[in-house]
Structure 1
Amino acid sequence: MLSQDTIVALATPSGAGAIAIIRISGKDALTIAASLFESVSGKDILKQKTHTIHLGHIVDGAKVYDQVLLSIFKGPNSYTGENVIEISCHGSTYIQQQIIQLLLRKGCKMAEPGEFTLRAFINGKLDLSQAEAVADLISSENEASHQIAMQQMRGGFSNEIAKLREELLNFASLIELELDFAEEDVEFADRTQFHELLERIEFVLKRLIDSFAVGNVIKNGIPVAIVGEPNVGKSTLLNALLNEERAIVSEIAGTTRDTIEDELVINGIGFRFIDTAGIRETADIVESIGIKKTFEKIEQAQVVVYLLDSSQISDFRLQTSENSRLHTIKIEVEKIRNQFPLKPLVIIGNKADMLTESQIENLKSEIPEILLISAKENTNIEDLKNQLLSFVNTGALRNNETIVTNTRHYDSLLKALEEIQKVKFGLQTGISSDLMAIDIRQALYYFGEITGQVTNDELLGNIFANFCIGK
């Protein structure tokens, strides 16, 4: 799959900027760079040490393209494990394209998406899970996802898997050895120690699998649906949370007829807020479609915020009436709870600035879990943010534990756990060594899939196709 060509690509974002970095990697990277670089001090680039930077000009005959800094990284002590040259030029798009086209004429080939990191993997500079963490690091948009990606890129997850695989492999070797002496009926693998190892592997696998629930939402953002009756202040709340006029605010009920989404980072955790159409009985066809979409968004959300207008239910003279607004709201809340019993539900009373102290007490007696805010006055918005954070288990982040965020890793861990449980059952029931060895080999296979010790071209193609060109 890996070509032997010397590849080139823009390593910085496309477009004009102060500087741009053009990266070259391959066995001919140094000689190609030397053919178009003239050092201001007359140095011969081919004779310079690795990890050095040189000032000079990119030239093609008499034509000078730009004054640049040229960095040399000789293999195997480079990102890709090959000779790598990085040219820091001025950020004009014209200069970038002219230098890249010159390099192509000199014998380079345009890099495919992720080809630099693919070469790093092939050359043993990174394992596969670390390589995938590079892409996660580039796309991280908050502190938590950045922290997880950094931990995985440094090998935290890989080391944990590699250690388990090595211990299992040692016992697998002893089991395989027993097969060679089957007629003598001897046991080389201590069954008690083997059982303890399987228990430990099962425990670690379950912990890693459970961490995916947290890791997935941290990586992709936690979707929060803001629902409620029309004109209770859902759009105003969204604007208050985002601290900008993102949603249209109007006194006219039903103004929001479609869902509006935006993201906010709270204490390093990404939340994706979804302002939905108001829930009510309506003959308006367009508004009805919006309400249908509201329930679809609740289905997709991790957390549901039910917003009500506390000023409109502060009159408790009719609170026992089946026609009262409070009674209707309680029915709607119960409907959401019954339809989505596993989703955390936060009940928010908006426009609390319009209530008296006695009205606040009465409202809290009717709905004890209610959080009273004023989206317009920005009152208690921080309390809402803290309550949303309470739904996220960030203890693993604070303790620097390994968190799984990759669906491919999650799938392989599930399969590995299934095989380990088969081995454990076989050990308990006294199954023959040859049958147990089959399940052990399969578990080792799934461990190897995670780190790339077991791989194929199709898998690598799918993974690295999602990378940016210059990485």
Structure 2
Amino acid sequence: MIPHDSIVALATPSGAGAIAVIRISGEDAILIGNSVFRSIKNKSLLQQKTHTLHLGHIIDDTKTLDEVLVSIFKGPNSYTGENTIEISCHGSTYIQQQIIQLLLRKGCRMANAGEFTLRAFLNGKLDLSQAEAVADLISSDNEASHQIAMQQMRGGFSNEIAKLREELLNFASLIELELDFAEEDVEFADRTQFHELLNRIEFVLKRLIDSFAVGNVIKNGIPVAIVGEPNVGKSTLLNALLNEERAIVSEIAGTTRDTIEDELVIGGIGFRFIDTAGIRETEDVVESIGIRKTFEKIEQAQVVVFLFDSSQFKVSGLKLKVELEKIKNQFPLKPLVIIGNKADKLEKNEILNLKSEIPEILLISAKEKLGVEDLKNQLLSFVNTGALRNNETIVTNTRHYDSLLKALDEIQKVKFGLETNLSSDLMALDIKEALYQFGMITGQVTNDELLGNIFANFCIGK
């Protein structure tokens, strides 16, 4: 059921600022706004055109609360599809609260989290995947996540799903028709075309499912664990990457006793660097806990950076190789970047020897910030940004991913049924389930619990 009452909320971040925007949406939004607004030219908001701005004052009886600018958006040509006004006032928290309390007394109620976008969905202004992209856009903190959210909000993902659903629905209708005329033994659905359609749907679904591996890390940031023995320069490297003194650096082995995390955007992709405690045998209880956490962070990381002191390779080379093999064997599927730090202390022949012993080594000097850009480029190479450059649809939402997996399973059942001459009524059941999963993504199939879970994660006022 689509609500018709008027809701109000602060649309800008809470707290003091230069200006604040208070949004009202609902059947009586313009009427309520007009009851508290006095135009400097004595205009009535009720008589003004949509998408217009008006300067005036917010009045509480005889008391002037603020000089404001009011924007009018008449439904259905508004974000929510309803009558909407936005009051741009001065950013004092006192003024914000006074105006909102006045509007509540005039008949508004406070909006729930995401209720403006929920109404946009209910009024057909957005489908469900586009509505979810609004939240992703608000939380995007790098170029890649912003690009994905924008593409989804503009309907790129929805269009792909809608097209597949429409084609499958057409064939489902023909199969249902065959069931109605079962006694006549007629065939309305061309089985060859149907098989081609199923192959095409399967291909698109697999591509979208595969894209989630990239989309998920782009959306949430790619965790990179920096590991190695104590005092090899892990904290110095973290500081060099972030270009600030984030981690404590000292000559004392075991200084870093807990993990330190910070984020950096490289080439539009977010990376979350984790500086871990040095790996070594120790009787220090606190340091031992830090080392145990190091291996937990390696488990959680997408990429592992193993750092060692290249100037000590002659002395500890054998031990180093043992440690490297241990990490490779324990985490065989994780990309491993092997870095020889303090390379500024090496002679030319030592550099050649290191590269022959460990061909994949990257030599840097974290203290002098030499080779840090090469490390950034190598980290970026682990991310498949080709899909971004080609503007392909990338799935970032776990709910969508789950529905795509279920839809693929049903499509494969239908394919098997087609190849084994399964009866049309049994295939029709699998087709209906696939259509249901497509509908769950776009919101053509939904329920109050699903909508509640999705929009509860929105901020108030959006």
TM-score in terms of structure 1 length: 0.98
Q: Does 1:295 align with 2:263?
A: no
Please state whether the residue corresponding to 2:27 is helix, strand or coil: coil
Q: Which residue of 1 aligns with 2:182?
A: 182
Per-residue Cα deviation, 1:308-334 (whole angstroms, up to 9, x for no partner) = 001111x3xxxxxxxx51101100000
Q: Does 1:247 align with 2:252?
A: no
CA contact (8 A) 2:178 2:188 kept: yes
Q: Does 1:451 align with 2:442?
A: yes
The correspondence of residues 2-401 of structure 1 with structure 2, limited to 5 A, is: 2-313=2-313, 315=314, 324-401=315-392
Please state whether the residue corresponding to 1:256 is helix, strand or coil: coil
Per-residue Cα deviation, 1:429-468 (whole angstroms, up to 9, x for no partner) = 0000000000000000000000000000000000000000
Post-superposition shift, 1:4?
2.5
CA contact (8 A) 2:2 2:123 kept: no
Report the Cα distance in structure 1 between the residues aligned to 2:284 and 2:425, rounded to whole angstroms: 69
Please state whether the residue corresponding to 2:334 is helix, strand or coil: coil
Query: What is the one-letter code of the residue matched to 1:104?
Result: L
Post-superposition shift, 1:363?
1.2
Report the Cα distance in structure 2 between the residues aligned to 1:151 and 1:78, rounded to whole angstroms: 21
Q: Structure 1: which 4+ aligned runs deviate by more than 2 Å? A: 1-4
Post-superposition shift, 1:358?
1.1
Unaligned runs of 5+ in 2: none
Per-residue Cα deviation, 1:5-36 (whole angstroms, up to 9, x for no partner) = 20000000000000000000000101000000
Query: What is the one-letter code of the residue matched to 2:19?
Result: I
Query: What is the one-letter code of the residue matched to 2:453?
Result: N
- Over the matched positions of the two proteins, sequence identity in percent amounts to 85
Report the Cα distance in structure 2 between the residues aligned to 1:220 and 1:172, rounded to whole angstroms: 38
Report the Cα distance in structure 2 between the residues aligned to 1:281 and 1:358, rounded to whole angstroms: 32
Please state whether the residue corresponding to 1:293 is helix, strand or coil: helix
Please state whether the residue corresponding to 1:119 is helix, strand or coil: helix
Per-residue Cα deviation, 1:152-208 (whole angstroms, up to 9, x for no partner) = 000000000000000000000000000000011111000000000000000000000
Q: Which residue of 1 aligns with 2:427?
A: 436
Per-residue Cα deviation, 1:374-424 (whole angstroms, up to 9, x for no partner) = 000000100000000000000000000000000000000000000000000
CA contact (8 A) 2:78 2:84 kept: yes
Report the Cα distance in structure 2 between the residues aligned to 1:470 and 1:246, rounded to whole angstroms: 35
Per-residue Cα deviation, 1:127-170 (whole angstroms, up to 9, x for no partner) = 00000000000000000000000000000000000000000000
Please state whether the residue corresponding to 2:57 is helix, strand or coil: strand
Report the Cα distance in structure 1 between the residues aligned to 2:447 and 2:49, rounded to whole angstroms: 36
Q: Does 1:416 align with 2:407?
A: yes
Please state whether the residue corresponding to 2:59 is helix, strand or coil: strand
Query: What is the one-letter code of the residue matched to 2:51?
Result: H
Q: Which residue of 2 aligns with 1:318?
A: none
Please state whether the residue corresponding to 2:18 is helix, strand or coil: strand
Query: What is the one-letter code of the residue matched to 1:32?
Result: I
Q: Which residue of 2 aligns with 1:320?
A: none
Report the Cα distance in structure 1 between the residues aligned to 2:321 and 2:461, rounded to whole angstroms: 55
Per-residue Cα deviation, 1:342-382 (whole angstroms, up to 9, x for no partner) = 00000000000111111111111111111000000000100
Query: What is the one-letter code of the residue matched to 1:97?
Result: Q
Count of residue pairs the alignment pairs up: 462
How large is the Cα RMSD of the aligned pairs?
0.6
Please state whether the residue corresponding to 1:430 is helix, strand or coil: coil
Report the Cα distance in structure 1 between the residues aligned to 2:382 and 2:202, rounded to whole angstroms: 27
Please state whether the residue corresponding to 1:265 is helix, strand or coil: strand
Please state whether the residue corresponding to 2:417 is helix, strand or coil: helix
Post-superposition shift, 1:3?
3.2
Post-superposition shift, 1:2?
4.7
Query: What is the one-letter code of the residue matched to 2:100?
Result: I
Query: What is the one-letter code of the residue matched to 2:446?
Result: T
Please state whether the residue corresponding to 1:18 is helix, strand or coil: strand
Q: Which residue of 2 aligns with 1:404?
A: 395
Report the Cα distance in structure 2 between the residues aligned to 1:353 and 1:339, rounded to whole angstroms: 31
